Structure 1
Amino acid sequence: MADRISVNSASRLSEAIARLTSMYREKKFVVVSLRPGKDRTLDQNALWFALYQRIAQMTQIGDVEDARRYCKLHFGVPIMRAGDADFRDGWNRMFLHLEYEQKLELMGPCPLFGPDGFPVTRLFNRAQGIAYTDQIVSAFAAKGVVFDDLLGEVAA
């Protein structure tokens, strides 16, 4: 059981201390890792969700989950295949032969991979996450989707 908590307020600090205390009392052994800084993935995930929402609103792709599946498959998988030989080999062996609709379905909530679907974006490093965002914006801006307000919020 691994817990992760970002401490950004007095109440979150209290929550972290309470969880640590509880875990120590229950298990007697706890490994703690600390690092300063903001969790970049929270901001990035929020941006991606906003992009998916905008795509769903301004295209015929479907709902937000459909947009997420599409982006993971069309942009995320190629980024991972290009940047990680183990991912590429595994994808090629296990998924390359599947029909498009099956691959798309695996990108979202499914019994095999759980509520987040096949792991793609959570495997990204910082550069891959930026490339993913850039590719989504580029591809859908060409189809008339406007992201300027969302991207402006990130820069601010």
Structure 2
Amino acid sequence: MSKPKPFISRASTLQDALAAVARLPGVMTQAIQQWGEIEIEVRKREPKRSLDQNRLQRLWCREAGEQGDMTAEEYRGQMKLHHGVPIMRRDSEEFAEKYDRLIKWRPYEEKLEFMQSPFDFPVTRGMNKQQKTEYLNAVYVDLTGRGFRLTDPGLKGIGPDQYREAA
């Protein structure tokens, strides 16, 4: 039997919140019937990483792949392992437990494989905007420090042939 999904409702206005509360009695009845005991939690929502952040990460990996000796996917895996994993291990006990149990003890080459397709161990997928910003800053410093020329996100709309030099 599959595990039931939790009821999650997001609200940024009182009207949205009241609409979610109106659905709550039916959801709670069904949950108690399936699970027996439930927990109700209200917390501040941490927005997930943005689509712009995701596109920038992919762009930088593609640019590194065009300039370096690895593919874009290999650079993506390397960046996830070197910069994403430490952020997520620091900020998420669940991530740290799973990473340590499944991947940490493996040889470096295998860790890199687990970060790439087809395995694609979820690292940046679980980041919020602040974590993804920290990650992208570390990736930018790492890759430009190795001599790669990356599109500067501050130049929005300017072609990749018009770089601003890294400091």
- Range of TM-score over shorter length: 0.5 to 0.7
1:106 to 108, 111, 114: 114
Q: How many residues align?
A: 110
> Is 1:46 paired with 2:49?
no
Give the superposition deviation at 1:147: 2.2
The alignment's TM-score, normalised by the length of structure 1, stands at 0.64
Cα distance, 1:88–1:69 mapped onto 2, change above 3 Å? same
Which residue does the alignment assign to 2:161? none
Give the superposition deviation at 1:153: 1.6
1:124 to 127, 142, 155: 127
The alignment's TM-score, normalised by the length of structure 2, stands at 0.60
Identity score, percent: 33
Tell me the secondary structure at the aligned position of residue 147 of structure 1: coil
Structure 2: state its 5+ residue gaps.
Answer: 1-47, 158-167
Which residue does the alignment assign to 1:83? 91
Distance, in Å, in 2 between the alignment partners of 1:123 and 1:93 is 18
Distance, in Å, in 2 between the alignment partners of 1:57 and 1:88 is 33
RMSD: 1.9
2:71 to 63, 88, 94: 63
Runs of 4+ in 1 over 4 A off after TM superposition: none
Cα distance, 1:77–1:84 mapped onto 2, change above 3 Å? same
Residue type at the aligned position of 1:101: E
